[in-house]
Amino acid sequence: MLYSHSPRSYIRTDNWEIIAKISEDKEQWSQVQVIDISAGGLLFHTEDEFEPGTVLWFDLFIDPKMPEIPERIHMEVRARVSSVRQQFEEVNAVGVVFIQISLGDQVRLDELIRLAVTRYGGVPE
């Protein structure tokens, strides 16, 4: 079952530990640095180049380091590249929109974002 959500805010991931691996084919994976995450997508840095519309798989391990969430959360999501811009000389900032996420993972992510925005403050989109 898929769940669609309109994100209203995002949280910088400075306070979280996120291990994110991406793949176009679910066979070759590379690790990326997540910068922002919302209930509907995320922004990451990579040296790789992607075109808008590219579909990627994400294997995410999220540790928000909050007492309300004592365990690291694992989720697999499918996302579509929505924006690409050169951030630094050889680093691209790539934004993606989640297009396939389980209902359970979406609910957990919504709760994480809500808790994080309450605790750390979020930035309206």
In whole angstroms, give the CA distance from residue 17 to residue 38.
15
User: Which pairing describes strands 17-23 and 30-38: parallel, antiparallel, or unpaired?
Assistant: antiparallel
Count CB-CB contacts under 10 A for residue 48. 12
- Going along the chain from its start, the domains and CATH numbers come out as 16-120 (2.40.10.220)
Q: What is the structure's pLDDT at 28? A: 94
Question: Which parts of the chain have pLDDT scores under 70?
Answer: 1-15, 120-125
- Spatial distance between the Cα atoms of 56 and 89, rounded to a whole number of angstroms: 23
Residue 68 sits at φ, ψ, to 5 deg, of: -70, -20
